[in-house]
């Protein structure tokens, strides 16, 4: 039963609860009209202390497509946070007006702190370099749709694995399924944190900086950008920024049924020529993000909602 729960990191939900969300998302994709006004009278608050295109818009589109309403801010400067209001006081106030809240924050742990003060479900929409659980729901629904199963896949994660919260959340989520091999592809400066790989006690994995060598083995390639906003030193960012470029030449050695995912935004790590390759599914992935967030909102609002038949 997910009604009233917070989502701060992927393992807040069991594998069975995740499967319930994916099953509902499948049904929404199949028959969206059935869900047109199931959230009528409900309000979603979007509290974005950091920029976003996909996460904020897909949450807003999700709630609007369910017939509910949306309010919020897209930068802290337009709220009383700019006057020094705390996260606790902000969410207690938002709880008076909304039924569910989504928060993105540059500081690790901010949405978890908010959840302690909140009377309504709080969803972490990305906290610093830590976790991004709803991107993980998006990634999992995409993998499930194209590969049918999470198990029995070799997944390569490439780019900024140090600060990449989408990677951290996805590895955590996939580690609960059997027979997945992880290939961590990153420059030495941006390797996956040890606390993430220490949890992979039942899975095969290796680390490399060489995308060309790794690509022929992969069933799934998860590309990420080098994240300018996480660097303290601009020179270091500029040195690493063009480290990877996925192009048609590199894809010649990839499996014909490999899928290419990217949480987006893309900067320069995937050439636009790849967009026409049938293996490039990252824009479909962004669409799955809206459907899975519709399913998540419905599950967290739960019993209040009567889906029309």
256-275 residues near ligand CP, rule: CB under 6 A: 263-265
Is residue 55 a contact point for ligand CP (CB under 6 A)? yes
Task: Give 88 or 265: the residue with its C-beta nearer to ligand CP.
Answer: 265
Long-range contacts of 108-117 (CB under 8 A, 24+ apart): 110/49, 111/6, 111/8, 112/8, 113/87, 113/88, 114/47, 114/87, 114/88, 114/90, 115/6, 115/8, 115/91, 116/88, 117/87, 117/88, 117/89, 117/91, 117/92
157 counts as binding ligand CP under rule CB under 6 A: no
Q: Is 52 in the site for ligand CP (CB under 6 A)?
A: yes
Which of 175/227 has CB closer to ligand CP?
Answer: 227
* DSSP string of 165-221, one letter each residue: HHHHHHHHHHTTSSSEEEEEE--GGGPPPHHHHTT-TTS-EEEES-HHHHGGG-SEE
Tell the smallest beta-carbon distance from residue 278 to ligand CP (Å). 22
Quick one: which segment of 9-17, 21-29, 47-55, 213-221 binds ligand CP (CB under 6 A)? 47-55
285 binds ligand CP (CB under 6 A): no
Edge-to-edge, what's the strand order for the sheet holding 259-261? 205-208, 180-185, 153-158, 220-223, 259-261
Is 112 an interacting residue with respect to ligand CP (CB under 6 A)?
Answer: no
Segment contacting ligand CP (CB under 6 A): 48-56, 112-120, 193-201, 226-234? 48-56
- Residue 271's closest CA among 211, 228, 183, 191? 211
Q: Does 115 engage in binding with ligand CP (CB under 6 A)?
A: no
Q: Find, among 159, 283, 145, 146, the residue nearest to 219 by Cα.
A: 146
Closest CA to 88 of 119, 59, 60: 119
CB nearer to ligand CP: give 38 or 280: 280
By C-beta, is 60 or 95 nearer to ligand CP?
60
CA–CA distances in Å: residue 33 to residues 25, 36, 194, 306, 308: 13, 5, 46, 14, 9
Minimum distance from residue 59 beta carbon to ligand CP (Å): 9
The reply to whether 46 sits near ligand CP by the rule CB under 6 A is no
135 binds ligand CP (CB under 6 A): yes
**Residue closer to ligand CP, measured from CB, 6 or 54:** 54
When the beta carbons of 38 and 292 are compared against ligand CP, the nearer one is 292
| Residue (128 or 263) nearer to ligand CP, CB | 263
x-or-dash string of contact with ligand CP, 218-257, rule CB under 6 A: ----------------------------------------
3-state secondary structure of 15: helix
Determine how many CB atoms are found less than 10 A away from the CB of residue 213.
12
168 near ligand CP, rule: CB under 6 A: no
Between 42 and 54, whose beta carbon lies closer to ligand CP?
Answer: 54
Look at strands 100-105 and 43-48 and give their pairing: parallel
**Binding of ligand CP at residue 79 (CB under 6 A)?**
no
Q: Would you tell me which residues interact with ligand CP (CB under 6 A)?
A: 52-55, 126, 135, 263-265
């Amino acid at each position: 039963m997910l009604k009233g729960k917070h989502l701060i990191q992927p393992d807040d939900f069991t594998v069975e609860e995740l499967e319930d969300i994916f099953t509902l998302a499948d049904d929404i994709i199949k028959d969206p009209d059935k869900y047109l006004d199931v959230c009528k009278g409900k309000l979603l608050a979007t509290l974005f202390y950091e920029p976003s295109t996909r996460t904020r818009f897909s949450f807003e589109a999700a709630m609007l497509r369910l017939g509910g309403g949306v309010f919020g801010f897209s930068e802290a400067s337009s709220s009383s946070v700019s006057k020094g209001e705390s996260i606790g006081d902000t969410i207690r106030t938002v709880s008076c007006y909304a039924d569910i809240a989504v928060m993105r924050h540059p500081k690790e742990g901010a949405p978890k702190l908010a959840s302690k003060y909140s009377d309504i479900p709080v969803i972490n929409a990305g906290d610093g370099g830590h976790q991004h659980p709803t991107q993980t729901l998006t990634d999992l629904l995409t993998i499930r749709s194209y590969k049918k199963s999470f198990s029995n896949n070799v997944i390569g994660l490439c780019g900024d694995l140090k600060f990449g919260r989408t990677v951290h959340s996805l590895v955590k989520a996939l580690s609960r399924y059997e027979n997945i091999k992880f290939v961590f592809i990153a420059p030495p400066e941006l390797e996956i944190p040890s606390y993430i790989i220490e949890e992979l006690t039942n899975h095969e994995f290796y680390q490399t900086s060489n995308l060309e060598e790794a690509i022929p083995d992969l069933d799934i390639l998860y590309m990420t950008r080098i994240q300018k906003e996480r660097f303290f030193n601009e020179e270091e960012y500029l040195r690493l920024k063009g480290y990877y470029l996925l192009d048609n030449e590199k894809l010649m050695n990839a499996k014909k049924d490999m899928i290419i995912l990217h949480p987006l935004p893309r900067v320069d790590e995937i050439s636009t020529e790849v967009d026409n390759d049938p293996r490039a599914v990252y824009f479909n992935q962004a669409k799955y993000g809206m459907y899975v967030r519709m399913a998540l909102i419905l599950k967290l609002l739960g019993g209040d909602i009567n889906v029309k038949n």
